[in-house]
């Protein structure tokens, strides 16, 4: 059974502070996540200075500055910070991952030894970016928020044309609203992506709570990505739609339980229930005293627990045969 890969998305919830970033790593490691993921970008390479904030960013920040550039500038991690974070992740025993948002960031993460390229929803229609990602990373995870199926297909085709191997790509169903309303999750679309593209699937979640990512695992997601924070009340664009530490731990625990519960898919008695078969199933018994040589009939036989005798599935084989000995009422019949 393959283990579900759980990515704890710290994103920009460090607020540009290396100490908060380290606390987030502590939380992700303590929760048992496989990866803690950040975001690597230079604001001046990501947005122009006229770009405005998304509605959810305005609502979560509640300030008068509507500039997306100004917001992102405060959330950059320097190269030195990245190196420090990478070392700290190794110390805490958790894998480091980051999403690059521009060409220089792709190159930089490659030099850090990052082996998985995470493509965010906003870059899925960026052909030069997709081509560089395909060439930079052997394994790719692609988020598909805001996408049509045709856009997903075009992106995957572009990655494969640029050299990516299809077997090394996992596509994450995603909704790019923070938080995502339940009515907009459309989790079955994840299955549609897998069926239409013949590709590995996962889910990147922006809902409140943990039930949707857990449900995604039950449906077959092999990667789960989920935002988390130290405190949802912190000021920043993504805190309000993130899990707090206790919730992240509960999500990881729930996913691991679902992994166990899914099993191998073959219907057979489990190790834990075999001992109950004889206790709970039934046998053919005498419904009254029966003398040796008397014919077994529906009137003198019954079916009762335990299941240590003849199975009631052999009822018709027993009916009409002669008793091989005397039986007391309730005694299990044997042939």
What stretch of H or E contains 301?
Answer: strand 301-304
Q: How far apart are CA 1 and CA 259, in angstroms?
A: 8
Q: Please give the DSSP secondary-structure letter assigned to residue 52.
A: B
Dihedral angle at the C-alpha atoms of 118, 122, 127, 130, nearest 10 degrees? 0
What's the pLDDT score for residue 65?
A: 65
Task: Supply the angle between the helices 149-161 and 127-136 in degrees, to the nearest 10.
Answer: 50
N-term to C-term CA, the chain: 44
pLDDT value, residue 198:
98
Do the domains spanning 5-262 and 269-335 agree at the CATH topology level?
Answer: no
Of 155, 183, 10, 103, whose CA–CA distance to 172 is shortest?
155
Query: Does pTM surpass 0.85?
Result: yes
CATH superfamily assigned to domain 5-262: Aldolase class I (3.20.20.70)
Average pLDDT for runs of 10 along the chain of length 335:
91 96 98 98 83 67 70 90 98 98 97 98 98 98 98 98 98 96 98 98 98 98 98 92 97 97 94 97 98 98 98 98 98 94
Q: How far apart are CA 331 and CA 325, in angstroms?
A: 11
Question: How far apart, in whole angstroms, are the C-alpha atoms of residue 216 and residue 220?
Answer: 6
Q: Which CATH architecture has domain 269-335?
A: Alpha-Beta Complex (3.90)
User: What residues does each domain of the chain span?
Assistant: 5-262, 269-335
How far is it, in rounded angstroms, from Cα 160 to Cα 150? 15
The backbone torsions φ and ψ at residue 6, rounded to the nearest 5 degrees and listed phi first, read -105, 120
8 A C-beta contact, residue 262 and residue 44: no
* Predicted pLDDT at 67: 74
């Amino acid at each position: 059974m393959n283990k579900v890969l759980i990515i704890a998305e710290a994103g920009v919830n460090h607020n540009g502070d290396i100490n908060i970033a380290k606390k987030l790593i502590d939380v992700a490691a303590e929760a048992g996540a496989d990866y803690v993921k950040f975001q690597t970008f230079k604001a001046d390479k990501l947005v122009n200075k006229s770009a405005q904030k998304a509605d959810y960013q305005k609502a979560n920040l509640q300030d008068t500055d509507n500039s997306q550039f100004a917001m992102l500038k405060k959330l950059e991690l320097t190269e030195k910070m990245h190196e420090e974070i990478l070392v700290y992740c190794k110390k805490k025993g958790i894998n480091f991952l980051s999403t690059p948002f521009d060409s220089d960031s792709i190159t930089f993460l490659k030099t850090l030894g990052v082996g998985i390229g995470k493509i965010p929803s906003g870059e899925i229609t960026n052909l030069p970016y997709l081509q560089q990602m395909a060439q930079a990373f052997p394994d790719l995870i692609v988020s598909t928020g805001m996408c049509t199926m045709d856009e997903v297909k075009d992106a995957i085709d572009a990655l494969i044309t640029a050299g990516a191997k299809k077997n090394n790509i996992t596509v994450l169903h995603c909704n790019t609203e923070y938080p995502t309303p339940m009515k907009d999750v459309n989790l079955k679309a994840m299955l549609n992506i897998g069926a239409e593209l013949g590709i590995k699937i996962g889910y990147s979640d922006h809902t409140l709570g943990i039930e949707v990512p857990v449900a995604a695992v039950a449906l077959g997601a092999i990667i789960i990505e989920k935002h988390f924070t130290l405190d949802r009340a912190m000021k920043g664009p993504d805190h309000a739609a993130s899990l707090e530490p206790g919730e992240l731990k509960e999500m990881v625990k729930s996913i691991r339980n679902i992994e166990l519960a899914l099993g191998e898919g073959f219907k057979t008695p489990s190790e834990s229930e075999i001992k109950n078969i004889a206790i709970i199933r039934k046998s053919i018994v005498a419904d009254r005293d029966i003398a040796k040589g008397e014919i077994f009939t529906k009137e003198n036989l019954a079916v009762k627990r335990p299941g240590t005798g003849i199975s009631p599935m052999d009822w018709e084989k027993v009916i009409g045969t002669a008793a091989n000995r005397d039986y007391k009422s309730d005694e299990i019949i044997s042939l």
